[in-house]
Structure 1
Amino acid sequence: MADETNTPVFQIQRMYLKDLSLEQPNSPQILLEQTQPQVDINLALAAEGVADGIFEVSVTATVTTKVGDKTLFLIEAKQAGIFEIRNLPQEQVEGILGIVCPQMIYPYLRAVVSDVCTRAGFPPVLLSEVNFQAMFEAQQAQREAAAAAPTIN
């Protein structure tokens, strides 16, 4: 019988919508505006250990839509997943948490944001595809540059 204690494990335990917020602070007056709104989209990633070999990874999208200086609507959605990751080197775990898990979560987040826009009475905001590997590599490079930078005492 094979020794399974060192077998690498990667499993999705659960995907879920962790947080969702829709605000229309200037309704109904702003809904009468005919001006094309400006849309600003920000993404954030988070990963944390919740138990031995169990991690929660979340992707948050903040969509701010304005007409002039007034907010038409603001959506903040956080989609999360619980993943089991065991018996892998730490650098591989970091890559899985920063690239693979967000890639699995993001399609659900895109659907939620689009659906909330539609249900709020607006055309859907379609979040573009994201290259999580490039994002992860850029964050790694920033960390390495910050670690190499001289400190001033």
Structure 2
Amino acid sequence: MTDTSAPGNPTPGQQPANPPSLRVLGQYVKDLSFENPGHAPVQTQPNIDLGIDVGATPHADGNGLFEVSLKLSAKATAGDTVLFISELDYAGLFQLQSVPENQVEPMLLIECPRLLFPFARRIIAEITREGGFPPLLIDPVDFVALYQAQYRRAAERQNGNGGAN
């Protein structure tokens, strides 16, 4: 005979707790562009300006569905010459279940982009290679630090606006 009241076994009438979960339902390229305005032999290491933006919006279907967008932009210059400009908007459809409300935003803006990043990184590397340049291999991104910086900027804007009244 099994003791059903032991830890881990719910007592009759008690529902087992649903642990928080994150499911990736799909990933896709929303927008991709590569411009090569100044293709010329480069004798020195080009300067690369990299931009990263993360956004999340609830999906129209609801049910804990969110679209998370990871936007990567890269501009390579050598002196005054723009070698290439690449922009990628890579997104994923995620489903969150049983996630506490205070953890939804960090999950969407840290964990989801962390899952998308390797795929977006590969696309940027391939498109720069296909454009005639060495593949641009973007260093890993600390999405926790990015989220914290975004959170601080929002708090500073709110405090600055609050003091102007």
Matches within 5 A, 1:4-153: 8-27=20-39, 31-50=40-59, 51-52=61-62, 53-149=64-160, 150-153=162-165
Q: Please, what TM-score do these two structures have when normalized by structure 1?
A: 0.87
* Greater than 3 Å deviation, 4+ residue runs: 1-9
Q: Please, what TM-score do these two structures have when normalized by structure 2?
A: 0.81
Q: How many aligned positions are there?
A: 150
The answer to which structure has the higher strand fraction is 1
RMSD: 2.1
Deviations 1:96-143 (A, max 9, x none): 001000000000011000011111111011101111011112222222
Letter in 1 for 2:56: A
Shift of 1:4: 8.0
Letter in 2 for 1:17: V
Where structure 2 has 5 or more consecutive residues not aligned to the other structure, the ranges are: 1-12
Which structure has the larger Rg? Answer: 2
Taking only the aligned residue pairs, the percentage that are identical comes to: 33
Where structure 1 has 5 or more consecutive residues not aligned to the other structure, the ranges are: none
